Structure 1
Amino acid sequence: MTLVEPIPAGDFAVATTKDSVRIERLLPGPIERVWSYLTEQEKRRRWMAAGVVEMQEGGVVCHVFDNSRLTSRDDHPPAKYAALDGPVKSHGIVTACEAPRLLAYTFSEESGEPSEVRFDLSESGSQVLLVVTHTRIPNRAAMLSFTAGWHTHLDILRDRLEGREPELFWPKHTRLEEEYGSRIPII
């Protein structure tokens, strides 16, 4: 049996409305370093997704998620997410870009009713506060999945920035999705 580290209470996301969630992470700076992990494909692929993000309003976003290969030890999604085993593309349009403090874009344009993700960065001494706000989430199941996903991805980002090997994506996501099911009220 593998022991799992308890999740710090401050790391949990909060639902701000029935279709929005907000999650924060205090990360090692400087701000330009964290910005590069949001905007540079090779760095972003190490914690979230590869693909192009054109850094201007109206620019194209094409994320290529491969959550089963974010760590040095491959893992596979649970049956519920079997369709996500391997590269999965998500498209969007940049809605705001103010380097190195703000990046926002639509998410999953291919769904017909895209949501929107916003990354706000601010300096806090030698650290950087990263706030991710995901809005226009279509339903509770998507909210639980996205929230567990952001939580897991941001923990991987923090581990990468601190030089640690992250926990496997899918086992952590599964645990967190269940936890968020009890934390996020039905609004």
Structure 2
Amino acid sequence: MSGREGRLTVDGERAVLTFERRLPFPIEAVWSAITDPDERGQWFGATTIDAREGGSIEMVATGPPLPDDRKKMTGRILVWDPPHVLEHEWRQPIVENGVVRYELRAEGDATVLRFTHRGLSVRNATGFRGGTAAYLDRLGAHLSGAPLPEWSNSRD
């Protein structure tokens, strides 16, 4: 496991962020939280998804406190394999174009989520690391019905 704060790996001028979280919920519940626009909107941000390989995804994250047009993420869905893999492009004005991947593996009554974001510069990956950990904390809270931590409070 890569720990709560994830792992940053450098490959030339680009970096990869990798997080693994063991979530005590069935794989279908985790898949739904990640891919259902209504659920995703509760813990991550307003989302629209054309749920298929080749479809599109758009999202405006709840944080950071930037104008929506700066933090709006768009992309094409590269892998759609319910309930195991969602991979999509991550195009956002504040960072380099990249790819994010959610891989889910059932482990008993729980699910192991492996999240990767590749294609970022080392500087931006370092900056995204805390925010990504915070949003994964929010995902866990959403699944358990707990109050969502503010994305910025989880970063310290």
TM-score (norm 2): 0.86
Q: Give percent identity, aligned residues only.
A: 27
Q: Structure 2 residue aligned with 1:158, among 119, 140, 145?
A: 140
Letter in 2 for 1:10: G
Q: Which runs of 5 or more residues in structure 2 are unaligned? A: none
Structure whose alpha-carbon radius of gyration is higher: 1
Provide the rounded CA distance (Å) in 2 between the counterparts of 1:153 and 1:111.
Answer: 17
| TM-aligned CA deviation for residue 117 of structure 1 | 0.1
| TM-aligned CA deviation for residue 111 of structure 1 | 6.8
Taking only aligned residues, the RMSD between alpha carbons, in angstroms, comes to 2.1
CA contact (8 A) 2:23 2:110 kept: yes
1:116 matched to 2:99? yes
Q: Which runs of 5 or more residues in structure 1 are unaligned? A: 1-8, 68-76, 176-187
| TM-aligned CA deviation for residue 168 of structure 1 | 1.7
- Find runs of 4+ consecutive structure 1 residues off by over 6 angstroms: none
| TM-aligned CA deviation for residue 14 of structure 1 | 0.6
Provide the rounded CA distance (Å) in 1 between the counterparts of 2:152 and 2:115.
Answer: 20
Q: Structure 2 residue aligned with 1:13, among 6, 30, 33?
A: 6
1:59 matched to 2:55? yes
Q: CA separation of 1:110/1:10 partners in 2, compared to 1, >3 Å: closer, same or farther?
A: closer
User: Which residue does the alignment assign to 1:141?
Assistant: 123
Provide the rounded CA distance (Å) in 2 between the counterparts of 1:109 and 1:146.
Answer: 12
CA contact (8 A) 2:54 2:77 kept: yes
Aligned residues: 151
Q: Structure 2 residue aligned with 1:34, among 25, 30, 34?
A: 30
> What is the DSSP-based 3-state SS (H/G/I as helix, E as strand, rest coil) of the residue aligned with 2:148?
coil
Provide the rounded CA distance (Å) in 2 between the counterparts of 1:85 and 1:171.
Answer: 20
**Bigger helix fraction:** 1
Q: Deviations over 1:18-74 (max 9, x none)?
A: 41010011112211110001111110011112221212121111112122xxxxxxx
TM-score (norm 1): 0.73
Provide the rounded CA distance (Å) in 2 between the counterparts of 1:148 and 1:157.
Answer: 14
Provide the rounded CA distance (Å) in 2 between the counterparts of 1:58 and 1:147.
Answer: 27
> What is the DSSP-based 3-state SS (H/G/I as helix, E as strand, rest coil) of the residue aligned with 2:23?
strand
